[in-house]
Structure formats: structure tokens, C-alpha cells
């Protein structure tokens, strides 16, 4: 599979709460509430990264032929109380980032991947008007302490997903369950991103990005005008409004449009997290979902969550659309949970092929990161949805290299 060149980033991805273990943040408290995690588990020691497994996993990643890794920093560790930073936590991240670099990986670091410090949760989470500025101060400190070990920064991960799960819905903390709160949470996160971007740029030269999850919405009946409208509506609410805001700084949800200060021009690159396609059918009983209901067969899903139907064509479409913003792109997450590991190798091949295709068309995609390097704590799903190229035995912390790890290594070898 040619067409990638030497500079292309072949990576894997993880996030702090999902792999580190031993956390003290808003999710720790959420997990302790009965019924919040569907399989009754907790993140616990997770994949043991804080205790020393990170270095070994990064070496495993490099052994596949990857040249990059995406990870996140845990805000609650680095700033356990407002304005009080923990030098030991910075030291541990320096060790992890240094190990990644020593293994030949370029390190893409997300400042915040969903979890908040307890003090921020007590203050109202993303509904606290002060939080965007606090986030910018945290960003600046991270850049000062860790900047020399970081190749690419991302500010936030999937602001819309967090707003839908934790503010519109109550599946994730803070569990608000109010559409107005969801709009406020999105606006606050975009403002936080913009402020953090300025703070990072003041200290480091590493490019700064934002990571968006953009599923592919299509009308279930392609020619049906109402299905088309409903699919468009869902796409706009979930993806289009955010992309447009990043482009011109105007958040158009809800109306009237509001300018998010500093947002226009705040990204040097943009990340796409992509999992699948939703086929949307008009449903007059679903006003809150833009009058649409998802009806596709073949979704990767559990009783509670639906990652959509694997559809590499949809990822290509989203990359073309993002390409219009004129900044370099990365696929910052792509993968599937597949306990038998029989479908994932083909899934990865199809999606890498989609990246190759759009690059050939001139879309500036610079990297592809598989979610995930190792099985990890999947939020409200707990441990029941293994996404890893490596399986994890949580009792022993032993890893099993899966067929999909071999498949990814082969794709990299072909591509490079």
C-alpha cells in the first residue's frame, strides 16, 4: 500500500483515565455510584500505565513499526487543587514521554480527554464560567513543563461527545440531562480550546490541534426527502456546527450565532476520531434527534452504545470535508471493539486504504492512529468492549498480541 511517504505518522492512541489506573477525578466518583458502569466494573488499575506499564506498551507499539503515539495528560494529577501543580506528576509524564521518544515515537499529547479534577467537578464542570480560563493556565504550565517532549499538542478530545453524554444525557459525569446545558458545555469547551491554544502557542512551537468525533450520517432511504433532512439535522448538530465554528469562530448552535473569542485560526491541525456510519430515518416522535432515528444493520454496538456500522467510505467523506478548512489533518482515533478479533484486521485495512485514497486526491492527511494500543476502560461500558491491538489480563497485567496487531504492522510495512 504505497502513497504514504516517510513523514506519515503511523500511530496508536490511548487516554489517561482509560489506561493509567489509580485515578482521583470526576470519573472515579462516578464509577463508585451503583449502576453507572454497565458491567459493574471500575477503571481500577486499568492498564497499569501510572505504575510502569506505559513504557512497556510504548515499546510494543514501536515494535509494530509505528512512529507515533497519541496519549493524554491527566489534569487531576497535574493540578490536584486549583493553582497547585504536582511536580512528581510532571516527572512521571516526562518519563513516559521520554520513553516514547526513545522508542522512536513522536508524541501527540491531548491536554484533556474527558476527565476533570474533582475541584473542577465541584465547581460545575464545563458549566463553570471560570473553567476555560483555568484550563488555559493548566495548558500553559503543561507546555512549560513538558513542551520539549511533545511533538504535537491537542487541547480537547471530542467536545460534542462529552456534551451529549454528560450534559444532554446523563450517561457520563456530570450527568446533567438538559439540552441547554449541552449547548453551554460545547461553547465552554470551544472557548477553553481557543484559550489553551493561545497559551500553548505562547510557550511552544509544536503545532496545536483539536480532536473531533465526526460519525458519518446518511439518510436510510437515500431519496426520501424527510430522511435526508433528518440525517442533515443530526449531522449538523453533532458535527457540522463544530466544524463551522472552528472555521470561522461562530457557534451557530443554538441560534442566534455567537462568536467564540479566539476560536477562528486556533488550530494548526485538526484530528478526526471516526468509528462508523449511522443511517437515519425520519421519525416524527424524535424532535430532540432532529426527527431522525438510527436504523442501520451491522452496527458495532452494545445495549447502551452504538459506534455505528463500519464504513471506510464515510471516513473518506469526513476527511474530504475537513480538508476544506485548509489545515493538516490526522485520523486521531479509528478502530473497533471486536472481542473475537476477526473483523478488526479487515476494518483497519479498509480505513487505511481510505486514508490513502483521499491523500491521493490531495487531502492533507498526515497521520493515522489506531484506537487503541491496548484494551482499556471504555467509560460507561466498563471493560466489556475490548478495542486493543493487544489484549489485557487485568489481574496479571499480561498482554496478548492480537491478530489485528500483526495486521496493522503489515499495513505499516506496506505503507512505509
Pure H helices in 172-269? 179-203, 225-235, 241-248
CB of 58 to ligand IFM, least distance (A): 18
Cβ atoms within 10 Å, residue 236: 17
- Give the separation between CA 9 and CA 370, rounded to whole angstroms: 11
Q: What share of the chain is helix, strand, coil (3-state, %, to 5)?
A: 45, 20, 40
CB atoms within 10 A of CB 70: 31
Q: Which is nearer to ligand IFM, 10 or 371 (CB)?
A: 371
Q: Is 27 in the site for ligand IFM (CB under 6 A)?
A: no
Q: How far is Cα of residue 47 from the mean position of the Cα atoms in its chain? A: 18
Between residues 15 and 234, which has the closer beta carbon with respect to ligand IFM? 15
Smallest gap from Cβ 315 to ligand IFM, in A, equals 14
Select from 164, 172, 183, 371 the one that contacts ligand IFM (CB under 6 A): 371
Give the HSE-up count for residue 390: Cα atoms under 13 Å, Cβ half-sphere.
26
Q: Does 115 bind ligand IFM (CB under 6 A)?
A: no
Residue ranges in 152-181 that form contacts with ligand IFM under rule CB under 6 A: 158
Q: How far is the CB of 390 from ligand IFM (least distance, A)?
A: 15
Our CB check for ligand IFM shows the closer of 305 and 397 to be 305
Residue 106 phi/psi, 5° resolution? Answer: -85, 140
User: 55, 18, 48: which is closest to 396 by C-alpha?
Assistant: 48
378 binds ligand IFM (CB under 6 A): yes
C-alpha separations of 154 from 192, 257, 274, 346 in Å? 12, 25, 16, 29
**With contacts defined by CB under 6 A, how many residues of the chain interact with ligand IFM?**
7
Sole binder of ligand IFM in the list 273, 299, 334, 404 (CB under 6 A)? 273
Rounded Cα–Cα distance for residues 184 and 57 (Å): 37
Nearer to ligand IFM, 18 or 404 (CB): 18
Q: Which of residues 317-336 bind ligand IFM (CB under 6 A)?
A: 333
Nearer to ligand IFM, 185 or 230 (CB): 185
In this chain, which of 8, 11, 15, 271 binds ligand IFM, going by CB under 6 A?
15
Minimum CB distance to ligand IFM, residue 362 (Å): 28
Q: How many Cβ atoms are within 10 Å of 9's Cβ, its own excluded? A: 22
Taking the complex as a whole, the smallest distance from the CB of residue 142 to ligand IFM amounts, in Å, to: 19
What are the residues binding ligand IFM (CB under 6 A)? Answer: 15, 18, 158, 273, 333, 371, 378
Amino acid at each position: 500500500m504505497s502513497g504514504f511517504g516517510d513523514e506519515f505518522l503511523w500511530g496508536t492512541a490511548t487516554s489517561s483515565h482509560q489506561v493509567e489506573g489509580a485515578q482521583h477525578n470526576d470519573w472515579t466518583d462516578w464509577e463508585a455510584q451503583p449502576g453507572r458502569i454497565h458491567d459493574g466494573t471500575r477503571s481500577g488499575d486499568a492498564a497499569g500505565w501510572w505504575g510502569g506499564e506505559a513504557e512497556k506498551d510504548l515499546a510494543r507499539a514501536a515494535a509494530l513499526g509505528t512512529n507515533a503515539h497519541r496519549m493524554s495528560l491527566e489534569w487531576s494529577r497535574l493540578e490536584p487543587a486549583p493553582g497547585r501543580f504536582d511536580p512528581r506528576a510532571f516527572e512521571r509524564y516526562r518519563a513516559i514521554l521520554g520513553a516514547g521518544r526513545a522508542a522512536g515515537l513522536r508524541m501527540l499529547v491531548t491536554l484533556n480527554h474527558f476527565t476533570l479534577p474533582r475541584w473542577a467537578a465541584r465547581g460545575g464542570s464545563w458549566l463553570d464560567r471560570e473553567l476555560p480560563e483555568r484550563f488555559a493556565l493548566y495548558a500553559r504550565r503543561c507546555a512549560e513543563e513538558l513542551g520539549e517532549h511533545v511533538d504535537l499538542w491537542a487541547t480537547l478530545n471530542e467536545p460534542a461527545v462529552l456534551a451529549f453524554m454528560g450534559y444532554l444525557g446523563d450517561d457520563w459525569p456530570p450527568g446533567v440531562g438538559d439540552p441547554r446545558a449541552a449547548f453551554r458545555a460545547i461553547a465552554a469547551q470551544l472557548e477553553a480550546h481557543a484559550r489553551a491554544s493561545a497559551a500553548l502557542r505562547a510557550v511552544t512551537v509544536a503545532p496545536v490541534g483539536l480532536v473531533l468525533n465526526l460519525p458519518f450520517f446518511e439518510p436510510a432511504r437515500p431519496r426520501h426527502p424527510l430522511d435526508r433532512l433528518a440525517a442533515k439535522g443530526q449531522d449538523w448538530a453533532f458535527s457540522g456546527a463544530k466544524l463551522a465554528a472552528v472555521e470561522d469562530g461562530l457557534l451557530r448552535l443554538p441560534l442566534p450565532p455567537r462568536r467564540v473569542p479566539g476560536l477562528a485560526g486556533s488550530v494548526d491541525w485538526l484530528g478526526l476520531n471516526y468509528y462508523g456510519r449511522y443511517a437515519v430515518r425520519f421519525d416524527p416522535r424524535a424532535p430532540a434527534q432532529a426527527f431522525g432515528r438510527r436504523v442501520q444493520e451491522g452496527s458495532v454496538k452494545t445495549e447502551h452504545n452504538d459506534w455505528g456500522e463500519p464504513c471506510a467510505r464515510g471516513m473518506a467523506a469526513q476527511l474530504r470535508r475537513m480538508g476544506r478548512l485548509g489545515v493538516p489533518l490526522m485520523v486521531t482515533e479509528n478502530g473497533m471493539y471486536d472481542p473475537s478479533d476477526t473483523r478488526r484486521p479487515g476494518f483497519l485495512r479498509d480505513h487505511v486504504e481510505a486514508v490513502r485514497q483521499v491523500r491521493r486526491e490531495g487531502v492533507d492527511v498526515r497521520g493515522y492512529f489506531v484506537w487503541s494500543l491496548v484494551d482499556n476502560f471504555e467509560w460507561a461500558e466498563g471493560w466489556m468492549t475490548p478495542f486493543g491491538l493487544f489484549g489485557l489480563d487485568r489481574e496479571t497485567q499480561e498482554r496478548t498480541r492480537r491478530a489485528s496487531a500483526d495486521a496493522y504492522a503489515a499495513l505499516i510495512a506496506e505503507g512505509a
